[in-house]
Structure 1
């Protein structure tokens, strides 16, 4: 006999029948603090609707590393209907099911509520399917500490310090949205019933295939929507010959079948190029290989239709390459994709890759497909559209095709569960629309630095929250729902913003308190232990071993972003100045930040008085950037420590430019060297070395014969308190050819100049160094060093 009363089961069944007519999903939350009761209710519901969900798989997501989570899964599996296919997956493996479609999904949220997990799972159920969320009671959810939250409890804070705003938002949004019911399993009572609204039957999808096309009908018939047909048709343009680069830019909300459509079109394009050229190589790149699995799968389907025997290579259950005679499709991380060549480059989730790296990829390939999600857990693509497409359209050497998909593949438009997840995770947040009055306020500097009440911002002031978070979505290439969760839950994070006098948010700041570690934690860090939530103190103590830094208390700027329509108007600098005032007043010792080192971004921080103090030893494989940490000391003690660290960093950087920083952009390296302190240091060159160098500077010896001396002089030049004047190009020549020890070819490529020009500049630098550091001002004065005797060497003239 079921635990759930039949009339309640009937309600769920009737609502699911209505949802199927509309092609929409439904979500039922079942809560209890009794594990066995939760499982029993879930089984009762599944038995009631099994005829509606049969014919496809049901997904059951749980936490395998919690014993009670594994126990509930076993209990459910024992009682589950035998005529329904159920796939069980642990949350840490969710990436393996992306792109799959299920008739229903049971989500065990007892042990954890993580925004990213919700973002991934809320796209896998087809229209007419049911999500069943198993949760503790609301009271227990607010009192307990989840795994996600426990990782946010950093030294100096306890579980009672957690803010719990995301949990409250989650509960509030479940109550607000249509298509959702909430069931109290303990009281056998619907806290919220499915809203009874008029349901319009789902319109039959009519797909019109192109009449005049090179692509066969059998390929188009793999498409499920008209949008997908249009995407596939655009691959014809990529096949045609052109003197210009051909770029296809595809954007879509999640669940529109973007990756599968790209895969279908790509499979046909590869087949045609293989026939025309005898071979075809395609590079697929994305933040990680999980993003391109659907592209691989559907490209493989089309190639098999054309009878190409495929050799598929996988790593950790993910496809990483497909090969056949004359055909290769291979996944490479963005940084590796930049170092190779291919007939076609596919960049999936392009919004998650920095714009400078996208342009480097663009310069390397002739046929490119940039595909990106606009709203989804993978990140948001509006910033990609604003920052990348605008510049792309201005290029005269590019034929660009643009298409935005709108029609969902798995469910009908206006799906209430999509509306709920977009709202809950702010996936569709946008910056404020700025009027002429708002823009005038910015121009006149009529802006205020504002510290919002976080309970009001996160739980009540939805408009301001969306304006605040929407700026991040526009400005940052790496966004995911966990960023929102951290902001709302972490006890050491806090929010500031800059608003116009008209009330619009134009700068968003997320900040974190770090430091005040005490001697014991500082010593642990110095020995190599990882200090949670203390990124800057951890790096400073690990790399420089100055334990005193752990005593200091600072503010790390986690993220700062300006509204895209009012950038470069001083708002970011205004926000930093006001933050500095606030931090000084509250007794903080320093403010700092860590970010991917680009010249533009680094220049912003240096201009605002921040000192570079650390550079990661490896590039981020997705962004292709080294991470730099900058600090602005506020107290006298912090100033002394940071000065010592910055000097040591400069010394280390000068000696590390050949390796590991050989591929650091010369402009970034130069900015780091010029932004760090200059200081008096002993300098001398033995006579024989001096003679060799002067022969290069004032006669006909080549630089290769005295690179050791040139390198020593270059290092001294960047340290010297009063160095001689060099042009920017001369400094870049020093960095690239001398300090990074790059080949002539690499130097010319980096600096975009000719061989005669770079050799001339280096020769001129040698003469300047000769005058400034060696007191030799002419060929005549250098001449005495060209004819040395044993006596000269012994007397060391």
Structure 2
């Protein structure tokens, strides 16, 4: 006898039958605090609809870290129908299911509700299928500290300080949307029924294949939407040689449109044809994570097997395919930064919105054929900003044959799916800022902009229009956004938001901020010994690398993210918002404002322009972005100024000594910007007579620079450390960084600085002569000549 009344079971079945006719999905939320009732209710509903979902596997996701989560899974496994296939996946392994299709997904959110986990599962169920969420009752949800939330409670705060706006928003959105029902398992009643969902009978589209194509019909038949067919028709062009111009395909789509599988089909066919044409084929696939490209590999393999190739798939330790090989064929995954050091017949860049635009252009310089693809609205981040920023530049590039396509048709369910609509709305995946008119630009020019500290409850839970504007600016302006960003902003007790908006209410700058520091002596000592501290990113790095405990006791504000409306960049709005933040921070007794970011010339210049001081840079590049992470701080109190001055001087010394390694590949322009922004300790230049002799012989005679590189290095460091500096051109300074401090070869130096060897060697010798005049008081070959003829008894020991 089922626990759930028959009329309640019938209600879900009838709704799912209706959904299957329109190829839409439904979401059933089962809430309860009694685990046995919760699981019995789940099984009752599952048995009622099992015949409707049996054509595909059922995904069961749970938290294996919690004993009760594992117990619920065991209870379910024992009672589950034996005639359906169930796949059990713990949340920390969710990446392995991306791209797969299920008839239903059961998600146990009792112990933890992490926004990213929610985002990952919401695309895997086919039309006619159902999501079943297991959740605690609202009272319990709002009093439990989840795993996700526990990571947001930093020293100085407790679980009572959690804001919990994300959970409140989630509950509100479940109540608002149609196609979603909520059932109370403890009391066996509907909190909310599915409601009226606008739908129409789904008709399977008839695909139209090209009459003439190099791609055989059997390959086209692997496509399931017309969008995929159109993508294959574009990829067909990549079989021809890229001679006078580079070939680029920019493919965008919302999540679940089959872009990765379409690329995989095209890549498999290309590999087959190129192997036949020239005996071998090497295709490079890159993405922020190998999990993003599993469908590319799966479908590439499927096509190669269609052409009777003997194919091997190579997996990494986590079970992700990182290489597909056949005789004469290699399709291999590498990280975006590694892709700069490899070569291939074609480069596929998946989830390109999660990769910095400068790195995307560096990849384009290296490869003649590139396919860039990105999710427009998805848990991985938004590609809309990428599309605007990247395509705007690439359309103006000379020597480029550009193809563009945006896929719209979902592959697992029909358009206007209510569950997708709920997902996008709840996680703000499709949030966008308001469009700016000429009147708005006039307001910006006349500085009719106000700095706002919003009421967060009002912003996050009531003012949906303003929230979508606020978060939409991040979606457009940043290349990395995911649902956890939203969850942190809404729940973390030490995070808060500020904005700049026009007097008509349109938001033009969004800022997410975090309070850091105010650490006690014991915590500072833990950091100095190498312990990893929650939050407190800037104090932790400063203490770890400089051992100055005093900095940890100061109170500061870290700018987690600052973004300007993409249509209003370079109009001083970001600087305006920072200046207002500093005023507020001073009034409230904060000692510093700081930020950490992947260093690029443009970003660094922005922070330096606003008076921030670089204090630390990571010794390794981020494997995805290819950037070094840097921390900048603007001291507000006298105590902070004293400490920042000390560590900035030390950082300059360290940077000068580290440009050959580990910062050998740091862009010279960035290195120069850093060196010129840091304070000057003004040390003495102490050279022996023999060192002088070698340096002067290079400067004024015929010795090569390689014979006095050690001395030139000393003099160059003195130049950058001294406040007394002779005038040098930008090219000369960059030459000093690249050739002398980074010790690069002449070929690499000339390539990097776009100079001929003659120009570079001549400029460097002129620089040596300038140094000779300014620091050594020797301005001609005649004056230098006395150091060319030395006697041993005249040389100081």
Question: TM-score, normalized by length of structure 1?
Answer: 0.99
* Equivalent residue in structure 2 for 1:507, among 509, 513, 516: 509
Q: What are the within-5 Å matches in structure 2 for residues 237-256 of structure 1?
A: 237-242=237-242, 243-256=244-257
**Deviation per residue, 1:335-392 (Å, 9 max, x gap):** 0001111110000000000000000000000011001000000110011111110110
| Matched residue SS, 2:435 | coil
Return structure 1 stretches of 4+ with deviation > 2 angstroms. Answer: 196-199
* Contact kept in structure 2, 1:253 and 1:374, CA below 8 Å: yes
The answer to whether residue 130 in structure 2 is matched with residue 158 in structure 1 is no
Instruction: Tell me the equivalent position of 2:173.
Output: 173
The answer to whether residue 34 in structure 2 is matched with residue 34 in structure 1 is yes
Instruction: Tell me the equivalent position of 2:313.
Output: 312
Instruction: Tell me the equivalent position of 1:689.
Output: 691
Deviation at 1:199, TM superposition (A): 3.4
Instruction: Tell me the equivalent position of 1:125.
Output: 125
* Contact kept in structure 2, 1:515 and 1:552, CA below 8 Å: yes
The answer to whether residue 380 in structure 2 is matched with residue 357 in structure 1 is no
**Deviation per residue, 1:147-176 (Å, 9 max, x gap):** 100100000000000000000000000000
Instruction: Tell me the equivalent position of 2:752.
Output: 750
* Contact kept in structure 2, 1:525 and 1:531, CA below 8 Å: yes
Instruction: Tell me the equivalent position of 1:73.
Output: 73
Deviation at 1:767, TM superposition (A): 0.3
Q: What are the within-5 Å matches in structure 2 for residues 395-544 of structure 1?
A: 395-544=397-546
* Contact kept in structure 1, 2:179 and 2:197, CA below 8 Å: no
| Matched residue SS, 2:751 | helix
**Deviation per residue, 1:119-157 (Å, 9 max, x gap):** 000000000001000000011111111110010000000
| Matched residue SS, 1:617 | strand
Residues in 1 aligned to 2:705 and 2:361: alpha-carbon distance in whole angstroms: 34
* Contact kept in structure 2, 1:255 and 1:409, CA below 8 Å: yes
Instruction: Tell me the equivalent position of 1:563.
Output: 565
Residues in 2 aligned to 1:549 and 1:779: alpha-carbon distance in whole angstroms: 51
The answer to whether residue 19 in structure 2 is matched with residue 4 in structure 1 is no
Deviation at 1:501, TM superposition (A): 1.1
**Deviation per residue, 1:166-225 (Å, 9 max, x gap):** 000000000000110000111111010111345311122211111121111000000000
Residues in 2 aligned to 1:328 and 1:438: alpha-carbon distance in whole angstroms: 53
Instruction: Tell me the equivalent position of 1:607.
Output: 609
Deviation at 1:240, TM superposition (A): 2.0
Q: What are the within-5 Å matches in structure 2 for residues 717-736 of structure 1?
A: 717-736=719-738
Deviation at 1:235, TM superposition (A): 1.1
Residues in 2 aligned to 1:505 and 1:325: alpha-carbon distance in whole angstroms: 56
Deviation at 1:309, TM superposition (A): 1.1
Deviation at 1:547, TM superposition (A): 0.5
From the superposition, tell whether residues 197 and 532 of structure 1 become closer, same or farther in structure 2 (CA, over 3 Å): closer
| Matched residue SS, 1:413 | coil
Instruction: Tell me the equivalent position of 2:50.
Output: 50
* Contact kept in structure 2, 1:696 and 1:703, CA below 8 Å: yes
Instruction: Tell me the equivalent position of 1:578.
Output: 580
**Deviation per residue, 1:219-243 (Å, 9 max, x gap):** 0000000110111111121112342
Deviation at 1:393, TM superposition (A): 0.5
| Matched residue SS, 1:539 | helix
Aligned pair count reads 795
Residues in 2 aligned to 1:793 and 1:721: alpha-carbon distance in whole angstroms: 30
**Deviation per residue, 1:449-504 (Å, 9 max, x gap):** 00100000000111111111011011111111000000000000000000011110
From the superposition, tell whether residues 773 and 296 of structure 1 become closer, same or farther in structure 2 (CA, over 3 Å): same
**Deviation per residue, 1:510-555 (Å, 9 max, x gap):** 0000000011100110000111110000000000000000110000
Instruction: Tell me the equivalent position of 1:17.
Output: 17
Deviation at 1:56, TM superposition (A): 1.3
Instruction: Tell me the equivalent position of 1:232.
Output: 232
Residues in 2 aligned to 1:313 and 1:449: alpha-carbon distance in whole angstroms: 54
Instruction: Tell me the equivalent position of 2:709.
Output: 707
Instruction: Tell me the equivalent position of 1:258.
Output: 259
Instruction: Tell me the equivalent position of 1:285.
Output: 286
Instruction: Tell me the equivalent position of 1:297.
Output: 298
Residues in 2 aligned to 1:258 and 1:549: alpha-carbon distance in whole angstroms: 49
Q: What are the within-5 Å matches in structure 2 for residues 94-243 of structure 1?
A: 94-242=94-242, 243=244
Instruction: Tell me the equivalent position of 1:348.
Output: 350
The answer to whether residue 269 in structure 2 is matched with residue 268 in structure 1 is yes
Residues in 1 aligned to 2:711 and 2:57: alpha-carbon distance in whole angstroms: 70
* Contact kept in structure 1, 2:16 and 2:129, CA below 8 Å: yes
* Contact kept in structure 1, 2:19 and 2:26, CA below 8 Å: yes
* Contact kept in structure 2, 1:678 and 1:721, CA below 8 Å: yes
Residues in 1 aligned to 2:308 and 2:193: alpha-carbon distance in whole angstroms: 53
* Contact kept in structure 1, 2:197 and 2:418, CA below 8 Å: no
Unaligned ranges ≥5, structure 2: none
| Matched residue SS, 1:181 | strand
| Matched residue SS, 1:329 | strand
Residues in 1 aligned to 2:445 and 2:3: alpha-carbon distance in whole angstroms: 65
Instruction: Tell me the equivalent position of 1:661.
Output: 663
* Contact kept in structure 2, 1:270 and 1:280, CA below 8 Å: yes
Instruction: Tell me the equivalent position of 1:548.
Output: 550
From the superposition, tell whether residues 607 and 197 of structure 1 become closer, same or farther in structure 2 (CA, over 3 Å): closer
697-706 or 737-746, which moves further after superposition?
737-746
**Deviation per residue, 1:710-755 (Å, 9 max, x gap):** 0000100000011111111100000000000111111112111110
| Matched residue SS, 1:260 | helix
| Matched residue SS, 1:360 | helix
| Matched residue SS, 1:234 | helix
Deviation at 1:322, TM superposition (A): 1.1
- For the aligned residue pairs, the C-alpha RMSD in angstroms reads 0.8
Residues in 2 aligned to 1:357 and 1:730: alpha-carbon distance in whole angstroms: 26
* Contact kept in structure 1, 2:595 and 2:632, CA below 8 Å: yes
**Deviation per residue, 1:234-275 (Å, 9 max, x gap):** 112111234210001100000000000000011111111111
From the superposition, tell whether residues 726 and 162 of structure 1 become closer, same or farther in structure 2 (CA, over 3 Å): same
158-167 or 195-204, which moves further after superposition?
195-204
The answer to whether residue 59 in structure 2 is matched with residue 59 in structure 1 is yes
Instruction: Tell me the equivalent position of 1:784.
Output: 786
**Deviation per residue, 1:413-439 (Å, 9 max, x gap):** 000000000000000001111122211
| Matched residue SS, 1:637 | helix
**Deviation per residue, 1:49-74 (Å, 9 max, x gap):** 11111121000000001000000000
| Matched residue SS, 2:210 | coil
* Contact kept in structure 2, 1:437 and 1:502, CA below 8 Å: no
| Matched residue SS, 2:132 | strand
| Matched residue SS, 1:640 | helix
From the superposition, tell whether residues 198 and 163 of structure 1 become closer, same or farther in structure 2 (CA, over 3 Å): closer
Deviation at 1:791, TM superposition (A): 2.6
Residues in 2 aligned to 1:56 and 1:325: alpha-carbon distance in whole angstroms: 34
Residues in 2 aligned to 1:532 and 1:553: alpha-carbon distance in whole angstroms: 16
Residues in 2 aligned to 1:115 and 1:660: alpha-carbon distance in whole angstroms: 37
407-416 or 207-216, which moves further after superposition?
207-216
Residues in 2 aligned to 1:763 and 1:627: alpha-carbon distance in whole angstroms: 34
* Equivalent residue in structure 2 for 1:391, among 386, 390, 393: 393
Instruction: Tell me the equivalent position of 1:773.
Output: 775
